[in-house]
Chains A and B, each alone.
Chain A
Amino acid sequence: MPYYEKSEDWLHQSALLLQARPQTTRVTTSYSLRPAIRPSKAEKLAAKEARRAKESTINSKSTNSTTSKTSTTPAASTTEEPPKDATAAAQKPPRGHLVLKTFDPHSGVCLKYKTSKAAEVGRLIQMLGQLGRRMAALPVDEAKEASAAQVQAQGGDVVMGDAAEEGTAAAGSGTATPAAGGASTPAATGAGGAGGGQGKKKKKGKR
Chain B
Amino acid sequence: MGHLTHGEFFSKLTELFDYRKNQDHGTINLVQKRLSYNTTTTTDKTDPLADLNPSTSLPVLIRATNAKGKDRRKEKVKLSTVVEPADLEAFYGRYADVCKKGMGALKPRDRTKRKKQSRKKKPAGVGAGGTSMMAIP
A52 at the interface (CB under 8 A from B): no
Other-chain residue from A27, A122, A197 in contact with B129 (beta carbon distance below 8 A) = A197
- Whole-angstrom distance from the CB of B46 to the nearest CB of chain A? 15
Asked if A152 is at the interface (CB within 8 A of a chain B CB), the reply is no
Chain A, interface residues (CB within 8 Å), range: 35 or more
Q: Which of A57-65, A70-78, A91-99 contacts B (4 or more CB under 8 A)?
A: A91-99
Which one, B23, B51, B103, B126, contacts A31 given CB within 8 A? B103
For the complex, is B135 an interface residue (Cβ under 8 Å from A)?
A: yes
Interface digits, A24-63 against B, CB 8 Å rule (1 contact, 0 not)? 1111111111111000000000000000000000000000
A93 touching B105, Cβ below 8 Å: yes
Name the contact of B52 in the complex, choosing from A22, A29, A128, A138 (C-beta under 8 A).
Answer: A22
Chain B residues lying within 8 Å of A200, measured Cβ to Cβ, are 125-126, 129
What does the 1/0 interface line of B96-134 toward A look like (CB < 8 Å)? 100110111111110001110110010001101100110
A118-B107, A132-B83, A171-B118 are known contacts. Are A28 and B136 too (CB-CB below 8 A)?
A: no
**A200 (CB) vs chain B CBs: closest residue:** B129
| A95-133 contact mask (Cβ, 8 Å, vs B): 1 or 0 | 111100000000000000001111101100110110111
Interface hit among A3-11, A143-151, A162-170: A162-170
Given the known interface contacts A132-B83, A138-B85, A194-B136, the answer about A167 and B118 at a Cβ–Cβ threshold of 8 Å is yes
Given contacts A22-B52, A128-B92, contact A33 B129 (CB under 8 A): no
B103 touches A121 (CB 8 A): yes
Cα A20 to Cα B53 in complex, Å, equals: 10
Cross-chain contact A96 with B106 (CB below 8 angstroms):
yes
B25 touches A35 (CB 8 A): yes
Tell me which of A26, A122, A168, A203 contacts B32 (CB under 8 A): A26
Task: Decide yes or no whether A1 CB sits under 8 A from chain B.
Answer: no
Q: Is A23 interfacial (CB-CB < 8 Å)?
A: yes
Contacts of B56 in A (CB 8 A): 137
Interface string of B22-48 (1 = CB under 8 A from A): 011111111111101000001000000
Contact A117 B58 (CB under 8 A): no
Q: Are B25 and A34 in contact (CB under 8 A)?
A: yes
CA distance A97 to B25 in the complex (A): 11
- Known contacts A96-B106, A136-B88; is-contact A128 B32 (Cβ 8 Å): yes
Pick the residue among A94, A119, A135 that contacts B60 (CB under 8 A): A135
A30 pairs with B28, CB closer than 8 A: yes
Contact of B51 among A23, A28, A132, A133 (CB under 8 A): A23
Is the beta-carbon distance between A122 and B27 smaller than 8 angstroms? no
B44 to chain A: closest residue by CB: A23
A13 located at the interface, meaning its Cβ lies under 8 Å from any Cβ of chain B in the complex: no
Contact B28 A135, beta carbon cutoff 8 Å: no
- A22-B51, A96-B104 given; name 6 further pairs at CB < 8 Å: A31-B99, A33-B23, A98-B103, A118-B109, A167-B118, A175-B125
| 26 A-B interface contacts by CB (under 8 A) | A20-B52, A24-B33, A27-B33, A28-B31, A29-B32, A30-B28, A31-B20, A31-B29, A33-B27, A36-B24, A95-B107, A96-B104, A115-B106, A118-B109, A119-B109, A121-B96, A121-B106, A122-B96, A132-B60, A135-B32, A137-B53, A137-B85, A164-B113, A175-B125, A200-B129, A203-B118
